[in-house]
Structure 1
Amino acid sequence: MPGATLRSTFAASLAALTLATVGVGTAHADQPRMYSARNDLQQAVGALQAALDDKGGHRVTAINLAQQAIDQVNLGIQFAGGPPDGDFAPPPPPVGPAMNNADAWLQMAVGELQAAEDNKGGHRVSALNLAQQAIDEVNQGIQAGGPF
C-alpha cells in the first residue's frame, strides 16, 4: 500500500504542476496586442514630433498623452507577467502629413488596446483613455494649425 500512496501523491503533484503551468501560459497570451499598441503609440509620438509647428499647444499635449499611454501599456504588460518586449507583426505605416499620421497611429493603438484581453490591473483601460484623449488633441491641433 505505501507504493500506491506514493504514486497517488506523485500523480496529484504532477497534475497540480501541469495546471499551474497552463495558467502561466495564459497569463500573457494576448501580449502581442499590447506590444503592437505600444509600437503604434511610439510611432504616433514620432509623427507628432515631426509636425512642423506647435498647433496651438495641442501637439505637445498629444505627445505627453501618448507617452503616458505608453507608460500605462508597459505597466499593463508587466502586470500581466509579460516580458518587457515581444514579437508582433507591425502594421504598414500611414502615409501623409505628420498630424494625420499621428492620428492614424493612435487609432491603430486604440484598436489594439480594445482587442487586448483582460484589464491588466486597470492599465489597459488607462492607456486606452489616454490614447483617445491624444486623438482629440491631434484633431484639435489639425484644426488649429493644419495637418503638417
Structure 2
Amino acid sequence: MPRATIKLGITSMLTALTLATAGAGIAHADQPDMYGARNDLQQAIGALQAAQDDKGGHRVTAINLAQQAIDQVNMGIEFAGGPFDGYFPPPPPQIGPAMNNGVGYLQLAADELRAASENKGGHRVAALNLTEQAIDEVNQGIQVGGPF
C-alpha cells in the first residue's frame, strides 16, 4: 500500500474517533438545572429536618416527597446520559425559620426543573410534580405548626 494511503486511513480513523468522543461528551453535556434542582432538594430536606415539631405530619411527608423528587432527578440525569455528579450553582443562603427555608429551596428546585431542557424520560416532570406536592405539604405544615 502506498504510504499516503496509510496516512490518510490513519488520519481518517483518528478524526472519526475524535468526533465520536466529542459527540459522546455532548450527549451528556451540562445539566446545570438538574444538578441545581437536586442540590436545592437536598438543602430543602436539611432545612425541613431542622424544623421543630412534626407539623401535623406535613413536615415528614414533605421530606419524603423531596427525597422521591431527588430519586427522579437522578434517574433523569442518568436517562439523559449525564454523569451522576455534575456542576450545580451554589444555592443562595436562606435566612429565616426552617420551614420557610425548606419551602424556599423547594421553590428554587421547582424553578430549575421547569428550566431544565427535555423531559428526560418523564423523570423531570415527575420530579417537578413531587416537588410541588412537597411545597404544598410544607405550606400546610406552616399553617398547622408555624414556620420554625
User: Scaled by the length of structure 1, what TM-score is found?
Assistant: 0.86
Aligned match of 1:140? 140
Q: Give 2:42's aligned residue.
A: 42
In structure 1, what is the equivalent of residue 61 of structure 2? 61
Distance (Å, rounded) in 2 between the aligned partners of 1:133 and 1:9: 58
**Aligned twin of 1:24:** 24
1:62–1:137 CA contact under 8 A, matched in 2: yes
1:101 equivalent to 2:101? Answer yes
TM-score (norm 2): 0.86
Identity %: 74
Cα 1:34–1:52 change in 2 (3 A) is same
Aligned-partner Cα distance in 1 for 2:4–2:138: 69
Q: Which structure 1 segments of 5+ residues have no match?
A: none
Whole-Å Cα distance in 1 between the matches of residues 114 and 15 of structure 2? 35
SS in structure 1 of the partner of residue 94 of structure 2:
coil
SS of the aligned residue for 2:121 comes to helix
Range moving further from structure 2, 28-37 or 44-53: 28-37
Distance in 1 (alpha carbons) for counterparts of 2:37 and 2:44 = 10
CA shift at 1:121, angstroms? 1.2
| Alignment RMSD (CA, Å) | 2.1
Please tell me whether residue 131 in structure 1 is matched to residue 135 in structure 2. Answer: no
Q: Aligned equivalents of 1:12 and 1:113: distance in 2?
A: 41
Structure 1 residue 28, shift from structure 2 partner: 2.3
Gaps of 5+ in 2: none
Q: Which runs of 4+ in 1 moved over 6 A?
A: 2-12
Hey, what does 1:75 align to over in structure 2? 75
